[in-house]
Structure formats: structure tokens, C-alpha cells
Chains A and B, each alone.
Chain A
Amino acid sequence: MTTAIIVNEVYKKFGKSELPFWRRIFGHTNGNGSNGNGHNGHNGNGAKAAEKSKVVVAVDKVSFTVGTGEIFGVLGPNGGGKSTLIRLISTLLLPDQGSISVFGYDVVRQSMAVQQIINRVSVEASFFKKLSPMENLLYGARLYGQDGAETRKKVVDILTRLGLEKRAIYNPMEEMSRGMQQKVAIARALLTKPHLLLLDEPTTGLDPRSKREVQAVVREMREKSGTTILLTTHDMVEADQLCDRIAIMNSGKVIALDTPAELKKLIPPKDGQETTLEDVFIELTGKKLVNEEEETV
């Protein structure tokens, strides 16, 4: 199996920088976040400390690789850094340190080449609300150089396939429920036939049937087109069934990475019941929380 994504020691923090914004704009990059000590560095004193406490390390020296055609899951608590990681891969954020390559292209230096072969679905549907799904998807597909007439046909195919009613395709997006909008968002990504599909909580807010429809589409993409898929979800059952391997992220760090079966072996079964992925999640991410509380007390 060839590699689709290589994430190497990637570090990303948010928050106040000591440099005024014009210096940051004009290239003098900031000292590469040498205070890489996780959340809200408590070191330093006085004004300096106040300044530093605004800093959040969202992705903290993360490394992993994803194989071509793999369905790779990223789990973790809210604020764990999953969406930030996805944005770094999709060229929407620039890493402070480390590097990411997608099918051999560097996301910073060869961003255009990366952009051509990826697409992304985010939690928020993100559409022109007054435009119809058809108009929104035409716009999305044309940005990738696709032909209008062909796109129109494909839009109807994909959306009906995802269980959307035909007339909804031509009415403004704002008249649609969240779940329906999410399906249009998935269609937008499928239209451009990406080699790498980044799915940030694609099934959040969908009913059980729609969830299954989306999961089926994800599997089919991998089977039929060999698409590599990186997805985040808060649905442990979904992750278990869908993913070949799973990384668990907490406070910006990858704290475990393995197949669902191997991950479950990490936690001994309790009360004679089989360990679920949820047990693993709670156990692995819970410890960290306790530690943090102890620190701040």
C-alpha cells in the first residue's frame, strides 16, 4: 500500500503573537512556538504570563501516515484538535512546525497540486443560503474546472442517491433541514472526485437512516474509486464499523493509534462485557482530564 498522507511532527498553536500584525503579515514568522507545552502554558510571570495564557496549542507534534485507500478515523474530545488537523491538511491553515504531504505533494509549497486532489466536508454545511443546492454545487464544481452540463446531471444523480427529494434540489438551501444540507455538502465533495476526502463529522446531525446512507457512500467511494478517507466523528459505533485504523487525539496530541480491534484490547473488559470503542475513548481521554485538574488545583 502506498502512502496517501504523511503528517510529520506537525505543530499548530492559536492565539496572541508578540509581534505586531504587520510584521506577521510581511513574512517575519514568529519564533515557531518554542513553548510547546500543551494547553495554556502556566510558566512565566506577570504580563508575559497573561499573554501566554491566551495561546492554545491545537495540534502538538503530531505524526502519522495514512495509506492509499484507507479509511482513517480521528476521534477525540471537543477541542482535541481534530478539525485543526483537517484544516492543516486541506491548506486552510499553515502549520507552525512540521510538514504534511498528500500523495507526495507538500501542503504548503505545492498547495495548488494538493487542492486539486482533495475535498472536504465540514460540520457546518457552509453554503450560499439563498441559492439552491444545484446553484451551490455548480459553483463548487466549476471551481474545480468541471463542465456545467455534466455537473447538472451528476448533481441530480448524487443527491437523489443520498435520498434528497428532487424538488429540493432547486429550492433555496435555507429552506432545508440541517441533515439535508449536510447531504448537499457531501455531494459537493463527491462531485470533484477527490483522491483524498476529508470528512469532519459528516454524519453529525443526521438521522440513523441518513447516517447509514452516508456510510454506504463512504465505503463505496473507497471500493469503487480507491479514495482515501480521513474522517472525524463522535459516533463510536460508526468509527468502529467504518475505519481501518483510528487515531485518538487529546489536547492536540495523538494518544493512541491502531485498528479498532487492537484499540479495544488496550482496555480489559469490565463486568464480563466486551470492551467497546466508547470504553477506550472514555478511558484514554479521561485520564488526561483528571491530570489537568490536578495541575490547576
Chain B
Amino acid sequence: MTTLTYQIRASYAFVERNINLIKRYWSWELVWLVYSIADSLAVSFIGLGVGKLGGGNPSTADTNYLVIYLLIGTLVWRFLSTIFYWITNLIGIERWEGTIEYTLMAPVRRITHMAGQTFFAISYSLFFTGMVLLATALVFKIDLSKANLLGGTLMLLAGSFSFVGIGVMASVLPLLFPERGEQMTHVFIALLLLVSGIYYPVDVLPPVLQKLAVLSPATYVLEGTRRTLLEGLPTWDLWQYIWPVLLMGAVLIPSGLWVFSMAERYAKKTGKLHRNG
């Protein structure tokens, strides 16, 4: 068996394992789906409420725009954060189950490990976000006649790679801090949520945060997706949003792998792998 086929086979181990885990924990996934749908709906209703709260009398077109604007924000965010958590969970879940030593002593390159987990994370996040989209579409009349759906999907996929990179970096926290590492990963998500303009245009932010927004891949994904879905921006013109996120991915994934290998070395040096608490 050549090294490549060997590694491809090994990467499937992670895909199959995750599918099996989802099957066994399906009720938890269902709860999470209900939560996600409720969350998307709740945020999108703000769009309907704004008119009343402001006391003005905005045209229905504006309100609709606002609802879809918010809805896209929640969906894109659901997609990216689901990827982030699946990647970050790489180590967290195995710490929790106590299998980490067995996975890390297997003859699997870290890049193979990440590739398997990434393939699963992106596929599952697409599926999951699709379910949320379907459910919310039953509540809001969403007019997608102008939308460039292909462009929107491309934008999401392009953006997912940079989130994989961030996720890989965050996944070292449970490796280094057996007790609290997993909780610490939430900080990444909270900061990205703040600066990326999920629920508002980034230009409402204070100047300092606006500068940070430029560095967040989610900013480009959101802007790109909104313009393709709301304005029907043609796929070709999407390039202005795609190249920054691809570039970030190209930097973040290799650096993530590097950070991970350093953390793994450190854990093996200090005996952190088999400490459960």
C-alpha cells in the first residue's frame, strides 16, 4: 500500500467515526438543531420589530430586506461556527472520551487527521445549515428570485477553509489545558462574532474594531454571501471576497498545523496527554 492510499484510508477513519457518533448522539443533534432554528428565527424577527420600535413607518420592502439580511447572518454564522467547533473538537472530544492516546499513537499524519475531520466538518455543517434554512423558510417568505445560489455556496465553501485554520489553532487549547481548554475555545468564536458584522454592517463599529474586522475571514464571507443572495452579484464579481478568504486559509491552515505540532510535542514532553483533570 502506498503512503498516499494509506493516509487517505486513515483519514476516512475520522469521517466514519463522526458519522457513528452523530448516529449515537442523534437526540443531542436534534436539540441543537431546534436551538439553532429558534436562534435564527429570533434574530430575524428583530428585522420585523425594528419598524415598530423605531416608531416610523418603513416600507415593507425595507423590513423584508432587514429580515433576510439578519437571516443570512445567522445562517452563515451557523455554518462557520459549526465547522469551527467540529475542528476544535478534534482533541476535546477524545480527551473527554479518553481515547486521545490511541489516536495520537496511530501512524497517521496530522494533516491526514485534519483532512478527514475537515471533510466531515464542512459536509456536516452544510447539511445542518441547510436544515436550518429549510425550517426558517417555512416561517419567512424568502424571495430568492434575484439570488445567485451557486455564488453563495461557493463563497461559503471558500470561507470554510480559513475557519478550519482557526479551528486547528484553537484545538490545541484542550491539548495544553486538560481541565479548561475546551471552554477557552469559545473566546475565538465570541471575538469573531463581535467584529465580523454578523448582525450589522461593520461600519457601525468603532474604528478599532473595524480594523479588526478586516482581519476576520467571516467579514468577507458575510458580505459576499449577502451580495450574492440579496443583490444577485454574479459569481465572477465575487472574486473580490473570495481571494482574501482563500489567502487567509492558505496562511491559517499551515500555521494551524505548525502550532498543533508544537503543542503535541509539548504535551508529549510534559505528560499532558494522559492527564484527564
**Which A residues lie at the B interface, using CB under 8 A?**
14, 17, 21, 24-27, 29, 84, 87, 90-94, 112, 115-116, 118, 120, 122, 124, 126-131, 135, 138-140, 142-148, 172, 188
Contacts and interface: CB of A to CB of B under 8 A. Distances in A.
A126 B10 CA distance: 20
Interface string B7-35: 10110110011001100110000000000
B99 A142 contact: no
A120 B24 CA distance: 27
A142 B10 contact: yes
A21 B271 contact: no
A140 B102 contact: yes
Interface residues of B, number: 37
A115 B106 contact: yes
Given A135-B20, A139-B16, A144 B101 contact: no
B203 interface: no
Interface string B262-277: 1101101111011000
A124 B6 CA distance: 29
A24 B270 contact: yes
B270 A92 contact: no
B107 interface: yes
A26 B176 CA distance: 13
Contact of B107 (A25, A84, A116): A116
Contacts, number: 103
B103 interface: yes
Contact of A92 (B7, B21, B105): B105
Interface string B88-123: 000000000111011111111100000000000000
Given A124-B98, A143-B10, A131 B274 contact: no
**Which DSSP category, helix, strand, loop or mixed, fits chain A's interface?**
loop
Nearest to B24: A130
B1 interface: yes
B170 to A, nearest CB: 16
A94 B101 contact: no
Interface of B: 1, 5-7, 9-10, 12-13, 16-17, 20-21, 24-25, 97-99, 101-109, 176, 262-263, 265-266, 268-271, 273-274
A145 B271 CA distance: 27
A181 B16 CA distance: 21
A142 B12 contact: yes
Nearest to B108: A143
**Which DSSP category, helix, strand, loop or mixed, fits chain B's interface?**
helix
Contacts of B20: 128, 131, 135, 139
Contacts of A172: 24
A143 B265 contact: no
Given A93-B271, A127-B99, A142-B10, A115 B17 contact: no
Nearest to B100: A126
A148 B6 CA distance: 13
A112 to B, nearest CB: 5
B269 A131 contact: no
Given A128-B99, A145-B10, A94 B269 contact: yes
B262 A92 contact: no
Given A142-B16, A144-B106, 6 more contacts: A21-B176, A21-B266, A24-B266, A92-B101, A128-B20, A188-B102
B96 to A, nearest CB: 9
A138 B107 contact: no
Contacts of A118: 105
Given A127-B99, A128-B99, A92 B274 contact: yes
A139 B266 CA distance: 26
B97 A129 contact: yes
B274 A87 contact: yes
Given A90-B105, A92-B105, A143-B108, A128 B266 contact: no
A290 to B, nearest CB: 29
Nearest to A130: B24
Contacts of A21: 176, 266
B99 A126 contact: yes
List 3 tightest A-B contacts by C-beta distance, closest first: A142-B13, A143-B106, A115-B107
A92 B265 contact: no
A92 B273 CA distance: 8
A242 B262 CA distance: 40
10 contacts: A24-B270, A25-B265, A92-B101, A92-B105, A93-B269, A115-B106, A120-B105, A126-B98, A135-B17, A138-B13
B200 to A, nearest CB: 36
Nearest to A24: B266
Contact of B271 (A14, A24, A124): A14
Contacts of B102: 120, 126, 140, 143, 188
B21 A130 contact: yes
A115 B21 CA distance: 26
Contacts of B21: 128, 130-131
Nearest to B273: A92
A146 B108 CA distance: 12
A14 B105 CA distance: 20
